[in-house]
Amino acid sequence: MKITLTKKESREIFHTAMCNGLDWVSSYGLYLEYNRVRYKSTANIMKSPCHEDVLLFMLENGETLTVVDEEDEDGNVEITIDKVYDRMNNVPIENLLNIINERDDVIDADVVLQTVFFNEVIYG
């Protein structure tokens, strides 16, 4: 069975995964790089934004995020909102359902983030 997500659902799941899993993926030596000036100006126009809100808003408005691999400088990957939409449907169904049903944990978030970042689960 495969789930086809709407753009809204994909954004919501990606947001949840960032909130729950960005710290976790940093243990792999990965971090997000983005335009700091654009980040600050975006945060200033939002009401009480959290970090992940700003990142998602930037993606929705055409900005990119770069997944930087501290151990492999050739392993950097650019993320766009279109990659979020396209790759979210490749996330294993059990992880998607856990997030949709609010029974998710950091492992579900990790699988979502890795799938969006690399189109597969590389670590763990």
| DSSP letters spanning 71-83 | T-GGG-EEE-HHH
Cα atoms in the 13 Å half-sphere on the side-chain side of 88:
26
Are the CB atoms for 34 and 63 separated by under 8 Å?
yes
Encoding tokens for residue 64? 């990119």
- Which pLDDT band holds residue 47 (cuts at 50, 70, 90)? confident
For the chain, the domains span: 29-79, 82-119
For residue 66, what are the β-bridge partners?
A: 33, 78
Q: What is the pLDDT of residues 54-76, one digit of tens each?
A: 999 999 999 999 999 998 878 89
pLDDT at 96: 96
pLDDT, position 75: 83
Residue 2 predicted with pLDDT over 80: no
Interval 1-17 mean pLDDT: 93
